[in-house]
């Protein structure tokens, strides 16, 4: 375990690799477990230096946890605000921990990550511990197993707050019981274009699941990206919660593929035009807002997934999603950027990345490159 005050360039971005099952439609799988320690108030009611005492207890347990051997620890209170925003944009820490509301996180707030950057935890968020596994594609069971193993290792040394009836106790009663929240980050442009999305989301709500936007709770949906997760955490076993989500997400993916087939059957030229326009704008525009990039990426992603834009990789699109965000652009520029500057830098970054990928062969002619 190294104590690191700087942020390695690609820290925590293993899930961008697009290697998992259905990774053109499912960006990532995340499973998190909320845990708290006996004898301490929860995060929001911490007393003087209580977060530091929690941290010390956790650190001792981490030193004996095989899952985190050789991993990294980031002291969030000591990190520059920009680095914290970068971690937030990588979905590794919460808004509260990034200090988005203007307050820096308390001393004792930390992020742990294993050497393979697949499993780790936030310390001193709303709950003392938020164990999390983040993987590329649809890999719920694997993510659960990683986080469960870490939980076993830490629980052997830490006195968790546990109640015989209510299970693992959490700051918010919506997380109590298993403390498990499994989320699938999924791209559903076909369902949006065919206007079936409303029905699907309504159905999701009726089977005990919920959906959120790009940055979790309360955030808006942009670029047709949705996070689907379990709503309830108590009264079902971890395995049941995981299996149920797996089953429903599998069905949503099938609906999405059906919708895409319908689009290609009924309006192939419209779809192809949309995809190529999106690519053209990303490839050549001089100023782009983040929302614009996300919406255009949605079109391009659809094109790549449907093999209409050969040569482009999903990995490249994933990378753009992360690195075209404002904190990442500021980090690359080495200075604060105004909104206008940010839009210029963003467009330049996207152009550079897409140019490096080379020209995308069109379906007319150039067929030699098509199979490549």
Partner 1 sequence: MLCDHCGENEAVIHLTQIVDNQMSTYHLCEKCAEAKGLEPGINTGTFPLSDFLAQMGKGTGAEGGGAAGACAFCGLRLEDFKKTGRLGCPHCYVTFEGHLRGLLRRLHGSTQHVGKVYLPPDPTDAERQQRLSGLRRKLDQAVANEDFERAAELRDQIRALEAAT
Instruction: List interacting residues with partner 1 (CB under 8 A).
Output: 36, 38, 40-42, 44-45, 126, 141, 145, 148, 151-152, 155-169, 171-174, 176-178, 180, 205-206, 208, 210, 231-240, 243
Is the CB of residue 29 less than 8 Å from the CB of residue 143?
yes
Give me the phi and psi of 289, to 5 degrees please: -80, 165
Q: Which C-beta is closer to partner 1: that of 174 or that of 313?
A: 174
Is the CB of residue 72 less than 8 Å from the CB of residue 2?
yes
Identify any residues that bridge with 307 across adjacent strands, giving them in sequence order.
none
Q: Where are the beta strands (DSSP E) in the chain?
A: 2-4, 26-35, 72-75, 110-113, 119-123, 129-136, 162-163, 167-168, 180-187, 209-212, 225-230
Q: Which C-beta is closer to partner 1: that of 162 or that of 284?
A: 162
Q: Which C-beta is closer to partner 1: that of 43 or that of 137?
A: 43
Q: Which C-beta is closer to partner 1: that of 49 or that of 277?
A: 49
Identify any residues that bridge with 216 across adjacent strands, giving them in sequence order.
213
Residue 336 CB-half CA count within 13 A: 3
The total number of residues written for the chain in this structure: 372
Nearest-approach distance from CB 155 to partner 1, in angstroms: 6
Nearest-approach distance from CB 206 to partner 1, in angstroms: 6
CA distance linking residue 175 with residue 246, whole number of Å = 20
Q: Which C-beta is closer to partner 1: that of 69 or that of 240?
A: 240
Nearest-approach distance from CB 237 to partner 1, in angstroms: 5
* Residue 254 burial class via C-beta count within 10 angstroms: exposed 0-12, middle 13-18, buried 19 and up: exposed
Nearest-approach distance from CB 195 to partner 1, in angstroms: 21
Q: Which C-beta is closer to partner 1: that of 183 or that of 305?
A: 183
Is the CB of residue 151 less than 8 Å from the CB of residue 132?
no
Nearest-approach distance from CB 165 to partner 1, in angstroms: 6
Nearest-approach distance from CB 141 to partner 1, in angstroms: 7
Helix, strand, coil: what percent of the chain each, to 5? 45, 15, 40
CA distance linking residue 299 with residue 223, whole number of Å = 8
Q: Which C-beta is closer to partner 1: that of 87 or that of 241?
A: 241
């Amino acid at each position: 375990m190294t104590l690191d005050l700087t942020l390695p360039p690609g820290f925590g971005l293993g899930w961008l690799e697009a290697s998992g099952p259905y990774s053109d439609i499912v960006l990532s799988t995340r499973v998190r477990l909320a845990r708290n320690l006996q004898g301490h108030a929860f995060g929001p009611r911490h007393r003087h230096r209580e977060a530091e005492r929690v941290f010390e207890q956790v650190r001792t347990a981490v030193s004996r946890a095989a899952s985190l051997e050789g991993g990294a620890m980031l002291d969030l209170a000591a990190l520059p605000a920009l680095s914290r925003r970068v971690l937030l944009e990588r979905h590794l820490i919460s808004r509260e921990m990034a200090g988005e509301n203007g307050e820096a996180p308390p001393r004792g707030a930390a992020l742990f990550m294993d050497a393979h950057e697949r499993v780790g935890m936030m310390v001193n968020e709303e709950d003392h511990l938020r164990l999390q596994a983040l993987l590329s594609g649809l890999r719920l069971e694997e993510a659960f197993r990683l986080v469960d193993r870490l939980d076993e290792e830490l629980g052997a040394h830490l006195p968790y707050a546990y109640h015989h009836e209510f299970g693992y106790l959490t700051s918010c009663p919506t997380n109590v019981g298993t403390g498990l929240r499994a989320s699938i980050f999924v791209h559903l442009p076909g369902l949006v274009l065919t206007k079936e999305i409303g029905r699907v989301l309504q159905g999701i709500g009726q089977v005990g699941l919920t959906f959120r936007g790009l940055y979790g709770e309360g955030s808006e949906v942009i670029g047709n990206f949705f996070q689907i997760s379990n709503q309830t955490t108590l009264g079902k076993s971890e395995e049941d919660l995981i299996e149920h989500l797996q089953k429903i997400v599998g069905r949503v993916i099938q609906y999405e593929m059906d919708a895409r087939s319908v689009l290609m059957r009924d309006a192939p030229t419209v779809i192809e035009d949309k995809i190529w326009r999106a690519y053209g704008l990303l490839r050549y525009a001089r100023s782009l807002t983040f929302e614009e990039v996300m919406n255009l990426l949605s079109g391009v992603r659809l094109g790549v997934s449907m093999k209409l834009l050969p040569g482009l990789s999903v990995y490249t699109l994933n990378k753009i999603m992360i690195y075209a965000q404002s904190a990442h652009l500021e980090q690359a520029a080495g200075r604060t950027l105004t909104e206008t500057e940010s839009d210029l830098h963003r467009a330049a970054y996207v152009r550079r990345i897409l140019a490096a990928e080379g020209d995308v062969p069109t379906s007319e002619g150039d067929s030699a490159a098509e199979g490549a």
